[in-house]
Amino acid sequence: DVKVTQSSRYLVKRTGEKVFLECVQDMDHENMFWYRQDPGLGLRLIYFSYDVKMKEKGDIPEGYSVSREKKERFSLILESASTNQTSMYLCASSSRRSSYEQYFGPGTRLTVT
């Protein structure tokens, strides 16, 4: 059973803080993704990674960075949190071996005040 875990379910940070969101998957998937989900806007891709140390920008990368030092772990970094980054953040993984079906973590509800 694929398992994707995220470091926090709820997080409250202040404007300007550096924020780390961590995601771990246990299925040896080569692809990992970070999305944010906002009402009426659906899921929007922030960054993805198709291999260790490889990363590519998604549709809304501004204000974010990522790190993938190990295959199972993909971190999202908010360099200087702003109120417009208040959102639900979802991590996902997929593999060519499982027909690119995406498996999601439980999400992190981030509030920036």
CB 105 within 8 A of CB 52: no
Minimum CB separation of residue 16 from another protein in Å reads 27
Could you give the angle at the alpha carbon of 15 between the alpha carbons of 14 and 19, nearest 5°? 70
Question: Which window, 12-20, 66-74, 75-83, 95-103, contacts another protein (CB under 8 A)?
Answer: 95-103
Q: Using the minimum distance from each CB to another protein, give the nearer residue, 40 or 62.
A: 40
Instruction: Look at strands 10-13 and 108-112 and give their pairing.
Output: parallel
Site string for another protein, 21-60 (x = CB under 8 A): ----------x-x------xxxx-x--x-x-----x-x--
The token pair at 5 is 């875990």
CB 22 within 8 A of CB 75: yes
Scan residues 59-78 and list those touching another protein (CB under 8 A).
Answer: none
CB 108 within 8 A of CB 21: yes
Q: Using the minimum distance from each CB to another protein, give the nearer residue, 80 or 111.
A: 111
Q: Using the minimum distance from each CB to another protein, give the nearer residue, 75 or 93.
A: 93
CB 66 within 8 A of CB 78: no
The token pair at 57 is 């920008």
Binding site for another protein (CB under 8 A): 4, 31, 33, 40-43, 45, 48, 50, 56, 58, 90, 92, 94, 99-107, 109
